[in-house]
Amino acid sequence: MRRLLASFWLLAGCWGQPPPAPPSGLDSALLRPDTSYPFLKLHLNTITLAAHLIPLWEKLKTNDRKVRILHIGDSHIQGDVQGREIRQRLYKVWGAGGRGYVFPYHAAGTSSAYDYISLSEGQWLSARSVQPQPILPLGVTGIAMGTYDPTARWEIRWNPAYYPVAPPGARLYLLTRTLRSGIRCTLRVNETPTPMVRELPGGYALTEFDIPEPLTALKGSWGWDSNDSLGYAELQGIFIEEGQKGLTWYSMGIAGARLSDWATLPLLKESLRQLRPDLIIMDLGTNDLYPTQATLTAFRQAVEAAIDTIRSALPNVCILFTTPQDFYRSMRPLPLLEQASRLVRWIASQKGVAVWDGYTILGSIREWRLAGLAAPDMVHLTAAGYALKGQLLASAFLTAYERYRLGNLPPADSEMVDYAPPSETYTPPSIPLTPSIARFGGNSDPATYTPPRPTYIYHRVQPGENLGLIAQRYGTTVNAIRQANGLRGHLIRAGQTLRIPAKASAPPSIPQSPPATSSRIHTVQPGESLWVIAQKYRVSIEALCKANGLSPRTTIHPGQKLRIP
């Protein structure tokens, strides 16, 4: 009878209902991907050392409180296609837990996830963990946007194909940082005439809002007296949850993020304490192993530093590491990846951490490329590839849970990995109680750090321009422009908007956009679709497809060049 009722609840799919109790037996379809390939080692697709996750399995089995999982990654995670697949599968077992993590990426100069676009106006400071010297102190999300401009606005618009994003009564949390209490936050859901207004606590904190109607769009702004010297507000994350019980999966990725940088984020520990996750999944490492100077010793330090930093903030939290999937450097395989996979499993066995060994389970990236699942760079995946990887991770998670539920979970001692770490001289990483923010002007508390007021002019890149010409025009330097925009190289494109840290004598006006007839080229970013790109440039999908000889159903991939009409 219980199984029949649970099945009826899933078929009804009612928003806002309490999550069901986990069924006595999982649907076998959830334990395998939608499509299988001969190069996948499905018989190995489970979580190694899953006994270290018993506190998590117990909470999910009891299902009497909310369980939160943070999935931390790089560009493979930022587009959130993996996260979508994981949520779809796990929520069938524990109920709809909410959309998870979103962010108005436009104001921070990077691409949005698969199901929404973001817009911004006004003057914003922004920072990402991939920047050599982020101008704002960052936490677990690895991204932030702040402003001294009380007229600044941001907006998130979801793709109608994914309406509604959340039902009435769902909860929305803003992770913010202010210089004093009393800063007003105004949120408008959809086109509701009456906005929600809250006074934010001072410092670094979460503020809760109840969503009054089915969510399809969200607009936000701050408010204070224009003469207030401490009038400043910063957004570091938006979190959407449903239900008082069940599971909510948050995917947090920053393109280019490295594991070696993660533990040094000044607000990392405090943000973990604010969010109180039950499981943290570390899905980083590709960008650490990609450079030609990468070493196993440096990688080991990064892995251990991440584990030790998490535990210094949340001693009892469960941790799951993934190993980087096979990828190529300059179209050639990297033997280092197999050793890195073995090293992660050995560290996990020593430190009581679980592992999903993606390197072994997923097989050769060459096979993924031949199957249309990997991009031409042999590093990123196609949308279908990201979806498959999400299905496999969800299946491994459910398989390990089912083994626990049936009493078949092997003890951790039986899965100890016999692997000798690198023989080089090794110094264990030192984890400070509070990561230093000396580059922000001393050892002040990052939660109360006052960023410099921006003096930016915004410039839209014209065809034929480069950073040298733009820097000369505004009396600044190429390095200053790169730092202000978080650019690692010198590549820019026509139509791109740059922040120019101009001097007081710089031209006060914003250069005009190129004529509508000018040709623009867009490089597809991970997680982008034709709909997202069309919305970004305010053109129709039909016009975009016609300009590139595509159909609306054509699959595009990261790195592909598209002509914008």
254 and 403 together in one domain: yes
pLDDT in tens, 59-108: 999 999 999 999 999 999 999 999 999 999 999 999 999 999 999 998 88
pLDDT of residue 142: 96
Cα–Cα dist 51/355, whole Å: 11
**Cα dist from 539 to 192, 328, 516, whole Å:** 26, 35, 11
In a domain, 426, yes or no: no
Cα–Cα dist 379/385, whole Å: 11
Residue pair 539/565 in contact by the 8 Å Cβ criterion: yes
pLDDT of residue 431: 60
In the listed set 391, 407, 423, which residue is the last one of a domain according to the structure?
407
65 and 195 together in one domain: no
In a domain, 212, yes or no: yes
Q: What is the mean pLDDT of the chain?
A: 85
Residue pair 305/263 in contact by the 8 Å Cβ criterion: yes
In a domain, 2, yes or no: no
80 and 162 together in one domain: no
In a domain, 155, yes or no: yes
**Cα dist from 316 to 195, 335, 429, whole Å:** 39, 35, 21
198 and 261 together in one domain: no
How do the pLDDT tens digits run along the chain, 565 residues long? 334 334 333 333 333 334 444 445 678 888 899 999 999 999 999 999 999 999 999 999 999 999 999 999 999 999 999 999 999 999 999 999 999 999 999 888 888 899 999 988 888 889 999 988 888 999 999 999 999 988 889 999 999 999 999 999 999 999 999 999 999 999 999 988 889 999 999 999 999 999 999 999 999 999 998 778 889 999 999 999 999 999 999 999 999 999 999 988 999 999 999 999 999 999 999 999 999 999 998 999 999 999 999 999 999 999 999 999 999 998 899 989 999 999 999 999 999 999 999 999 999 999 999 999 999 999 999 999 999 999 999 999 999 999 999 999 999 888 876 666 766 667 777 665 454 444 444 446 788 888 887 767 667 787 778 888 888 877 788 888 888 787 878 888 887 878 787 553 333 333 333 333 345 788 887 667 777 787 777 777 777 877 887 766 677 777 788 888 8
Structural domain count of the chain: 3
pLDDT of residue 477: 87
Cα–Cα dist 332/219, whole Å: 45
Cα–Cα dist 316/54, whole Å: 11
pLDDT in tens, 409-452: 999 888 876 666 766 667 777 665 454 444 444 446 788 888 88
**Cα dist from 87 to 97, 98, 102, 397, whole Å:** 8, 9, 14, 12
173 and 207 together in one domain: yes
In a domain, 264, yes or no: yes
CATH number at residue 259: 3.40.50.1110
pLDDT of residue 118: 92
558 and 511 together in one domain: yes
In a domain, 41, yes or no: yes
In a domain, 393, yes or no: yes
One-character DSSP codes across 415-468: G----PPP-S---PPP--SS---GGGTSS--GGG--PPPP-EEEEEPPTT--HH
Distance of CA 558 to the CA centre of its chain: 16
- Its domain, for residue 117, covers 105-239
Cα–Cα dist 67/452, whole Å: 38
185 and 93 together in one domain: no
334 and 387 together in one domain: yes
pTM for this entry: 0.79
Which structure tokens are listed for 565?
């009409």
- Which of 149, 170, 113 has its CA nearest to residue 223? 149
In the listed set 386, 407, 428, which residue is the last one of a domain according to the structure?
407
253 and 401 together in one domain: yes
CATH number at residue 163: 2.60.120.260
Residue pair 320/356 in contact by the 8 Å Cβ criterion: yes
Using CA of residue 28, residue 31, residue 32, residue 38, what is the dihedral sign? negative
Which structure tokens are listed for 510?
């914003």
Which structure tokens are listed for 100?
């998870």
Radius of gyration of the chain (CA): 24
Q: What is the DSSP letter of 49?
A: T
Residue pair 277/69 in contact by the 8 Å Cβ criterion: yes
pLDDT of residue 404: 96
157 and 266 together in one domain: no
In the listed set 189, 209, 239, which residue is the last one of a domain according to the structure?
239
Cα–Cα dist 117/527, whole Å: 11
* Total residues found in the chain within this entry: 565
In a domain, 183, yes or no: yes
259 and 361 together in one domain: yes
134 and 232 together in one domain: yes
Run of H or E including 497:
strand 497-501
pLDDT of residue 444: 60
pLDDT of residue 192: 84
Question: Which amino acid is it at 389?
Answer: K
pLDDT of residue 399: 95
pLDDT of residue 430: 67
pLDDT of residue 259: 95
CATH number at residue 470: 3.10.350.10
Q: Give a three-class secondary structure readout of 504-542.
A: CCCCCCCCCCCCCCCCEEEECCCCCCHHHHHHHHCCCHH
